[in-house]
Amino acid sequence: MRDRGLVLALLIPGLLAMLATFILPMAWLLRASFSTSTMVQVGFTLDHYRAALVDPFYWKVALNTLTLGLTVAGVAVVLAYPIALFLARTTSRWRGVLTALAVAPLLTSAVVRTYGWMVILGDRGVINGTLQSLSIIETPLRLSNNSFGATVALVEILMPYAILAMLAGFGRLSVQLEEAAAMLGANPLRVFWRIVLPLSLPGVLTGALLVFVLAISSFVTPRLMGGGRVFVLGTEVFSEATVTLNWSLAAALSVMLLVLFSSVIVIYQRALRRLEA
Amino acid sequence: MTERHVSVENLVKTYPGAAKPSVDDVSFSLPRGEMLALLGPSGCGKTTILRMIAGLVEPTSGSIRLNGREVSGIPVYKRNMGMVFQAYALFPHMTVAENIAFGLEMRGIAKADRAAKVARALDLVKLSGLGDRRITQLSGGQQQRCAIARSLVIEPELLLLDEPLSNLDAKLRDEMRDEIREIQGRTGVTAIFVTHDQDEALSMADRLAVMSAGRLEQIGTPRQIFDRPETEFVASFIGAGNFLNGRVTAAGEAAVDGFGALRFVGDAAVGQDVRLMVRPHRLVMGGAANSFTGTVEHIVYRGQILTMTVRAGETRLQADLHTHAGALPEKGQTVTLGVAPEDVTFIGRAA
Amino acid sequence: MKAITLTLAALLASGGAYAQEVNVIGFSGVFADNYQKFIIEPFEAANPGITVNYQPSKNSAETLALLTRQAANPTIDVALLDIAVAIKANEAGLFSQLDEAGVPNIAQAPDWARVDEDRSVAFSQDNLAILYNTETVTEPPTSWNDLADPKYKGRIAAKLGDTRGVILIPILTKMAGGNYKDSIEPAIEAMNAFGPNVLTWEPAPDCYAVVQSGEVDLSICWNGRAQYLHDTQGGTIGVAAPVEGSIGQTSAISLVEGSPDAEAAKKFIDYALGAEAQGTFAEKSFYGPVNTTVELAPEVAQRIYGGPEAQAAQMTLDWQWVSGVYSQWIQRINREVIAFN
């Protein structure tokens, strides 16, 4: 009995922090989404939800968001997988340093790295500058200020998360299992296909989910790298909240985004658990 | 001479950056159907030898032959050897049957044949009916059996076992020891296993190869290794021993301080300084061919055995005597102990 | 005891009246510096009993959020807001009505500047202008139509998904001979005409820096800050005031409902709306004055509104009306212009 009391007491600071930073704002958001005023919370109406749901533009934006999320998650996972696999398997004494290097980009803010990508991919950026000085192209290639730029920057910005999630999810992978498979006659390709891939799949899927969630909720990078042309739910919520000051619509859009993607996460994790069983 | 199924010649492995080789010029061979134990303390190179034979580690130099054919250069997955890993290395995402079938699948064996072979293998290791279990649902002993079945079902040229019993509790270990020996005997597969446990090696292997610091100290049958150790390391690593210095006075006879003349078995020239070894439990009360008198300095009663330290002259010996209900020696008492000449082993020239 | 004596002495020194405090929230950056120097400091000098604290806010939306949060118990007395946001705030009843008795200078404001029955009064207009890079553009643009010149393909930054777009619509509509209250179709068409030239609709970090850095040749931006950057950043940024005239981003001053010190606040608002304050502010920061009695020197007028032709074509907006279509216009710009270019 006393132990339970102690556990509760220890939980209180965390719960209070959760209440203040997560539950209360969430409640506020929910309340605002039903408000009859665009700014203050009065009355009750479903108009904002109706407005968002009947507007084909928002459906298109939702589809854009989904496409961006899936593309970024797919590419980030494909690029991060070999790195994570190498880091998980290497016995080099530099392993710690290499792992730190792989996730070091997290030490810089996403905004700073977005600016970095603008410098690299811009019309007068490093890539176009090099190609032009080598006379390979005449007019600059459009590498940023579109969804390509947004995708590239998001992939790079979110890759460290993918690597971390994968490393955490590679627990069942072991060199000994690969050796056992080889002893049983599996060539390196089959070892990868039958042993490494299935055992690393939970890590890969966790990484993909994490990147997907971060990508669909991003708005700074799509806005800056997209040149305003990339319309995703994050940028729409931002613009409704800060430009047109329609806070209730912004809240309704946020709530829908939240409901939609948290159900995706729940379904996904259930599937993941089955895979790991 | 029997057929050499597996032979290892002048095998050397030096890891990059290491000052000394991990395996230093080791040679031995096995006839078909033999079970060899590689025995030694940790770090002696025994596992490295096993892994070189398997193809998991590249030798620095030397040769490994299977049926007279050099295997260096043949990749692991083409060597057709079975290996039982210390932690079993069963595939956690497959069932027991899938684990066992894996090697057959890699060999392109038809599904129906595979099922039949898997069933036989499960039967061999007494896991019939557990084929659909997941690996995590098996006990330690069952996992061990599954690992053995998986490596035997492919009908390997050679079975390699890396500390196969070290992950089991004591009771299960005794049981599996007999079982592995039995399965090996039944299948007739040539096997090499690595262990640091002398009991395991003595009781399971046809022959033992004792290793120390990368070098092969001695290879022989359990009796040869135990009764006729050729080096002091072998003598002391396997069982306990009293080591005595003496000078050969006649053929098979040496003068040892405290003993007078001690008769031994071994080839040593008259006048040579020799090192002799007597196992504590081979000493008996009362006179024998070799006998000496000394004082009991220390005594421990351990139920079945009475361990005492006896001093004769400047020599101290440990004697392990079987106890009985009658009178036993006591501390300070003068006792006469004897040992048969064949139990006095000539180890080599004294340093 | 000593502290109390000191405080009493200070009170007595300030003419026997108690010390008054006015808390003002408004725009940040150069605006804040200039406002402090050319409006607050002269006011404080003339009113020794009143202290004015200026609190810069990132943007009008954040100011509005703060005011909304404090509605029941405000600590702010005076708010400077983008006029469209001020009208939003009035919908929520955040500001109190001013009158000519308390704030005589509102009489000098034109009708369009007195919004929501004098709850918010416009005090400055920052014109929308075309910025150009003086190193890459040898022939400065003179017309809004120059934005559609093919030589600027991929060389324009145009952040139009906010007040900039909302101001450009009436300008472009008028150029096509229309009236923004009837239809903005011509403006959407005109935007689509220069749309293909636009490199970015979301210049980062802002619409000025991309011209300074040479990332683009032209950018649609506010005049006041551009003039300041022209003077301070080596003249790389040039400002073109199109001959067809422009409209200013209008800032309004309002008294917060429930202001802790309304009397002092009204005094300050009156000063800020006066000809002296507006004249100085216009001269120093190139924000057009609203007070009708202000006379600008020709060279100052030139830098605020452009040449005589542009000055004559300067427009004002019915902000009250525009506020009703504000978000709809932005939506149309987003969906019918930006999404296609």
Shortest distance between the Cα of A262 and any Cα of chain C, in A, equals 28
pLDDT at C84 over 80: yes
pLDDT at A7 over 60: yes
Interface contact flag, A123 C61, Cβ < 8 Å? no
Domain boundary among B180, B205, B235: B235
pLDDT of residue B239: 85
pLDDT at C39 over 80: yes
| In a shared domain, residues C296 and C198 | no
Q: E strands of C48-172, at which residues?
A: 50-57, 78-82, 95-96, 114-115, 120-133, 156-158
Helix %, strand %, coil % for chain B, to 5?
25, 35, 35
Residues in chain C whose beta carbon is closer than 8 A to a beta carbon of chain A? 59, 61, 64, 68, 71, 85, 88, 91-92, 154, 159, 161-162, 199-202, 204-205, 214-215, 326-327, 330-331, 334-335, 338-339, 341
| In a shared domain, residues C31 and C104 | yes
pLDDT at C3 over 80: no
Q: What is the pLDDT of residues B204-232, one digit of tens each?
A: 999 999 999 999 999 999 999 999 998 88
pLDDT band at A262, cuts 50/70/90?
confident
Nearest to B91 among A177, A185, A190 (CB): A177
Q: Which of B5-19, B274-288, C78-92, C201-215 has the lowest mean pLDDT?
A: B274-288
| Residue A228 near chain C (CB below 8 Å) | yes
Residue C76, burial from CB neighbour count under 10 angstroms (0-12, 13-18, 19+): buried
| In a shared domain, residues B164 and B182 | yes
| In a shared domain, residues B166 and B308 | no
A172 contacts in B (CB within 8 Å)? Answer: 92-93
pLDDT of residue B7: 94
On whether the CB atoms of residues B281 and B324 are closer than 8 A, the answer is no
Q: What is the pLDDT of residues B27-49, one digit of tens each?
A: 999 999 999 999 999 889 999 99
| In a shared domain, residues C336 and C293 | no
Interface contact flag, A241 C61, Cβ < 8 Å? yes
| In a shared domain, residues B83 and B215 | yes
pLDDT at B143 over 60: yes
pLDDT at B326 over 50: yes
| Residue A71 near chain B (CB below 8 Å) | no
- Cis, peptide link before residue C205, omega less than 30° from 0: yes
| In a shared domain, residues B254 and B192 | no
Q: Which two tokens stand for residue C85?
A: 């946001």
pLDDT at C15 over 70: no
pLDDT at B4 over 60: yes
Which domain does B283 fall in, by range?
Answer: 241-349
Q: Report residue A93 CA to chain centroid gap.
A: 31
Instruction: Please indicate, yes or no, if residue A126 is contained in any of the structural domains.
Output: no
pLDDT band at B329, cuts 50/70/90?
confident
| In a shared domain, residues C316 and C196 | yes
pLDDT of residue C14: 45
| In a shared domain, residues C115 and C259 | yes
Q: How many CB pairs under 8 A join A and B?
A: 60
Shortest distance between the Cα of A261 and any Cα of chain B, in A, equals 29
pLDDT at A123 over 50: yes
State the DSSP string of C89-107: HHHTT-EEPP-TTT-GGGG
Instruction: Please indicate, yes or no, if residue A226 is contained in any of the structural domains.
Output: yes
pLDDT of residue B113: 93
Q: Hey, of A91, A183, A194, A196, which one would you mutate to test binding to chain B, going by the most B CBs within 10 A of its CB?
A: A183
Interface contact flag, A228 C59, Cβ < 8 Å? no
| In a shared domain, residues B145 and B266 | no
pLDDT at C17 over 80: no
Beta strand pairing status for B4-13 and B23-31? Answer: antiparallel
Which domain does C330 fall in, by range?
Answer: 128-248+307-340
CATH of the domain at C323: 3.40.190.10
A242 contacts in C (CB within 8 Å)? Answer: 59, 61
B89 contacts in A (CB within 8 Å)? Answer: 174, 176-177, 179-180
CATH of the domain at B279: 2.40.50.140
pLDDT at B20 over 50: yes
pLDDT of residue B285: 86
pLDDT at A213 over 60: yes
Interface contact flag, A186 B150, Cβ < 8 Å? no
Average pLDDT of chain A to the nearest whole number: 89
Q: What gap in Å lies between CA C129 and CA B2, rounded to an integer? A: 101
Coil, strand or helix at B153: coil
| In a shared domain, residues C318 and C202 | yes
Mean pLDDT, residues A235-240? 90
Shortest distance between the Cα of C285 and any Cα of chain A, in A, equals 25
pLDDT at B56 over 60: yes
| In a shared domain, residues C275 and C287 | yes
pLDDT of residue A36: 86
On whether the CB atoms of residues C118 and C285 are closer than 8 A, the answer is no
How many helices (H) and strands (E) chain C has is answered by 14, 12
The interface predicted TM-score (ipTM) is 0.83
pLDDT of residue A276: 67
| In a shared domain, residues B192 and B264 | no
Mean pLDDT, residues C282-311? 94
Instruction: Report how far apart, in Å, the C-alpha atoms of C5 and of each of B27, C8, C21, C46 are.
Output: 103, 5, 21, 27
* Number of domains making up chain A: 1
Q: What gap in Å lies between CA A110 and CA A266, rounded to an integer? A: 27
Q: Nearest 5 degrees, angle CA C313-CA C317-CA C320?
A: 170
pLDDT of residue A277: 61
Interface contact flag, C327 A246, Cβ < 8 Å? yes
Question: DSSP letter at C327?
Answer: H
CATH of the domain at B31: 3.40.50.300
pLDDT of residue B213: 92
CATH of the domain at A166: 1.10.3720.10
| In a shared domain, residues B221 and B139 | yes
| In a shared domain, residues C54 and C168 | no
pLDDT band at A107, cuts 50/70/90?
confident
| In a shared domain, residues B183 and B329 | no
Which domain does A88 fall in, by range?
Answer: 55-108+159-276
Q: What percent of chain A has pLDDT over 90?
A: 46
pLDDT band at A41, cuts 50/70/90?
confident
pLDDT of residue C13: 45
| In a shared domain, residues B194 and B245 | no
Nearest to A176 among B80, B85, B93 (CB): B85
| Residue B75 near chain A (CB below 8 Å) | yes
A226 contacts in C (CB within 8 Å)? Answer: 202
Q: What is the pLDDT of residues C92-148, one digit of tens each?
A: 899 999 999 999 999 999 999 999 999 999 999 999 999 999 999 999 999 999 999
* Number of domains making up chain C: 2
Interface contact flag, A37 C92, Cβ < 8 Å? yes
Q: What is the pLDDT of residues C225-274, one digit of tens each?
A: 999 999 999 999 999 999 999 999 999 999 999 999 999 999 999 999 99
**Could you tell me the pTM of the whole model?**
0.81
| In a shared domain, residues C175 and C146 | yes
Higher pLDDT, C11 or A139: A139
On whether the CB atoms of residues C262 and C96 are closer than 8 A, the answer is yes
Q: Which two tokens stand for residue C36?
A: 């402090």
| In a shared domain, residues C254 and C243 | no
| Residue A148 near chain C (CB below 8 Å) | no
A246 contacts in C (CB within 8 Å)? Answer: 327
Nearest to A228 among C91, C161, C326 (CB): C161
* Number of domains making up chain B: 2
| In a shared domain, residues C279 and C329 | no
A186 contacts in B (CB within 8 Å)? Answer: 77, 102, 106
Mean pLDDT, residues C186-198? 96
Q: Nearest 5 degrees, angle CA A246-CA A250-CA A251?
A: 115
pLDDT band at B2, cuts 50/70/90?
low
On whether the CB atoms of residues C107 and C274 are closer than 8 A, the answer is no
Instruction: Please indicate, yes or no, if residue A10 is contained in any of the structural domains.
Output: no
Q: What percent of chain B has pLDDT over 70?
A: 99
pLDDT at A180 over 90: yes
pLDDT at C162 over 60: yes
Q: Which of A56-65, A119-128, C48-57 has the lowest mean pLDDT?
A: A119-128
pLDDT at B174 over 90: no
pLDDT at B157 over 80: yes
Please tell me which residue of chain A has the smallest CA distance to C206. Answer: A224
Interface contact flag, A123 C154, Cβ < 8 Å? yes
Instruction: Please indicate, yes or no, if residue A80 is contained in any of the structural domains.
Output: yes
pLDDT of residue C334: 93
b/e B62-100 (16+ beta carbons within 10 angstroms → b)? bebbbeeeebeeeebbebbbbbbbbebbbbbbbbbbbbb
| Residue A153 near chain C (CB below 8 Å) | no
Q: Helix C83-91 crosses helix C319-336 at what angle (to 10 degrees)? A: 110
pLDDT of residue A261: 81
